[in-house]
Structure 1
Amino acid sequence: MKKKVIALLLLLPCALIMIFSVFLPIITTFGYSLKYFKLTEPNDERIIGFTNYKNVITSSEFHNALLNSIVILLAVLVIGLVISFVIALVLNKKTKLTTFLTAIVIIPWALPPIVNGIMWKFIFFPGYGLMNQILLKLGLVNVPISWITNRPLFLLVIAIVVSWRIIPFSAIVILANLQNISKDYYEAFNLEGGSKWQAFKYITLPLLVPSIGVVLINLTTTAVNVFDEIISISGFQFENQTLMVYNYSHTFNFLDFGLGSTISYVIMLLTGVFGYLYVRNMTVEKVY
């Protein structure tokens, strides 16, 4: 009994931190989401139930932001996972340059998102951007491409920027898992006459499932929460808004804390569903 009391006392500081930093804000935000609460109208605060949720879900602005976020998410998942795999497989080969290359690869992840955004803005900026200059010099285009003002191209640019920032972390996670796979599995498989592709399919890939799950969760949360890169590249253009930009715009530009809290809850629910599906898939026992 004494040991249980000591254990509970040791857990108490962590529990209090979780309550005040996670659960209390979640509860408070939900309370605000049920109110008409604008800082520009401080005397008109009132409870309106789930009206904010109805307004958000039926809003064309929300539909536009949701669609943009989904497109960026899907592109980041494909680009990020594939390139992370390739980089991890390359770094897993022991060479004299492996340590140096690992240090170089991690640089994009270490840079602040706003710095990444500004750097890529100079690359894709219409007119004098580096990408347009290269395409014009090579004769691949006759006029500069509007990377930022063209919605599909802009979403592709953001997907590239986000992938470039998050791929290093994803590659290191996969690499760490690769290095923990025993060589005995491959030696035994080679004795049975298996090919390299079969070894990758039946040994490497199944054993990488836990790290792939972590990478997918990380890619998803990063893609859904992308904000700095969008603001630094295009600002608050309506057609380029994602869920986070839409949320920030209503909360801090229009000072509508009621609607902003509602959008926050919708985003939390959407990311929670993705996280639940990933974790559930990771914990399901598979037989290979």
Structure 2
Amino acid sequence: MDHTTPAPAETGAGGKSPARPLPGKRQASRVRRQRLRAAWLFLIPMLVVLAAVAGWPLMRTIWFSFTDASFSNISDYGLVGFENYLVYDSGAWYGVLADPAWWNAVWNTLFFTVVSVGLETVFGLIIALTLNAQFRGRGWVRAATLIPWAVPTIVSAKMWGWMLHDQFGIVNEMLMGLGLIAEPLNWTANADLSMWAVIMVDVWKTTPFMALLTLAALQMLPSDCYEAAKVDGIHPVRVFFRVTLPLILPALMVAIIFRVLDALRVFDVIYVLTSNSEDTMSMSVYARQQLVEFQDVGYGSAASTVLFLIIALLTISYLYLGRKQIGGDA
């Protein structure tokens, strides 16, 4: 009867058997690779379409910003380097970054962004807390709250333009009827009121967006902590600042960054209400004025490129800080 001796296991350096991956780990790695391939399979068509629709016009705009192209003869242009951005000539600075009108547009855009997004966040949070409570007709109130957001921006701006008209606008009629003003106000032409009129229209239009995202975050909160706070007799205001706000803060920050990026490139509501007024001109309105009215494609493309770089820098900073915070929490 033969007794076969099993072959000796292969040994590595030092006489130890080499470590082999466990079957479970190999299976997980294979599944991960399959998911990654499937994800890229779905993403590639979208990336191709995005590159064709957005990437090519963006690259062309950046290219034109280094030229002296104009709409009168857009095919005949020459390279001018950074002259459209900033150049020193004959004892003076020229270019977008040296134009006082551009910096006025930057200030208007930042003021509009900070005030409008701040008000929308506060009002949206109040509306979300109200809609999160239990009361009769809550579904109808939620639907009515979303109506301003569903109205196209151009339509809402035109509607508010008539309502704020100095001669036959309903806003002036109501304020005079209440005795708050003695004579009609020219909301969209007065330098002291035009920016606030634009902010008011934008807040009315976009607050439901903030309320909707905040409400979604509120409805995902666990009820255990609220039941414990109720048993301990903690005041609701303290519960909001100690429990509710920290829990919904990540979702609220996502909503805020979306609104900030949208507000920084605001064009339609400002242009419809006040056209090219310097008191409300945003960076997008400034770029449009250079491109369309002044027919200066190179200069207008430089303004558009600077606006794109500002938004891209803010987006990358937010993504980096968010990823760093998530990594630190992990």
Provide the residue aligned with 1:107 in structure 2.
147
Aligned to 1:212, which of 228, 244, 252? Answer: 252
- The alignment status of 1:267 with 2:299, answered yes or no, reads no
Report the more deviating stretch, 66-75 or 182-191: 182-191
Q: CA deviation at 1:121?
A: 1.0
Give deviations 1:163-220, integer Å, cap 9, x for gaps. Answer: 1111111101000000000111111233344321221112111111121112212221
Listed as ranges, the matches of 1:121-270 within 5 Å are 121-270=161-310
> 2:291 touches 2:297 (CA, 8 Å); kept in 1?
yes
Conservation of the 8 A alpha-carbon contact between 1:75 and 1:156: no
State the one-letter code of the partner of 2:259: L
Question: 1:248 offset after TM fit, Å?
Answer: 1.2
Alignment-derived partner of residue 125 in structure 2: 85
Read off the aligned partner of 2:202 and give its amino acid letter: V
The 3 A distance-change label for structure 1 pair 138 and 218 is same
Contact persistence 1:213–1:282 (CA under 8 A): no
Deviation, structure 1 residue 129 = 1.8
User: Highest CA radius of gyration, 1 or 2?
Assistant: 2
Deviation at 1:144, TM superposition (A): 1.9
Contact 1:72 1:223 survives alignment (8 Å): yes
Aligned mates of 2:125, 2:265 — CA distance in 1? 23
- 1:138-184: CA deviations, max 9, x gaps? 33222222211222311111111111111111101000000000111
Who is 1:52 aligned against?
A: 84
Residues 194 and 279 of structure 2 are in contact (CA less than 8 Å); yes or no, is this contact kept in structure 1?
A: no
The answer to whether residue 76 in structure 2 is matched with residue 36 in structure 1 is: no
More helix by share: 1
Q: Decide whether aligned partners of structure 1 residues 37 and 12 sit closer, same or farther in structure 2, where only a CA change above 3 A counts.
A: same
Distance in 2, matches of 1:9 and 1:93, equals: 43
Deviation (angstroms), 1:45: 0.7
Report how many aligned residue pairs link the two structures: 287
CA distance in 1, matches of 2:39, 2:259: 36
**Cα offset for 1:225?**
2.5
Identity of aligned residues (%): 28
Work out whether residues 80 and 219 of structure 1, in 8 Å CA contact, stay in contact via their aligned partners in 2.
no
Distance in 1 (alpha carbons) for counterparts of 2:75 and 2:121: 50
Cα drift, residue 89 of structure 1: 0.3
* Residue 258 of structure 1: how far off its partner (Å): 1.3
Corresponding residue number in structure 2 for 1:20 = 52
Query: What is the distance in 2 between the residues matched to 1:276 and 1:97?
Result: 42
Bigger Cα displacement from structure 2, 252-261 vs 150-159:
252-261
List runs of 5+ in structure 1 lacking aligned partners: none
Per the TM alignment, residue 5 of structure 1 is displaced from its structure 2 partner at its CA by 6.4
**RMSD of aligned Cα (Å):** 2.3
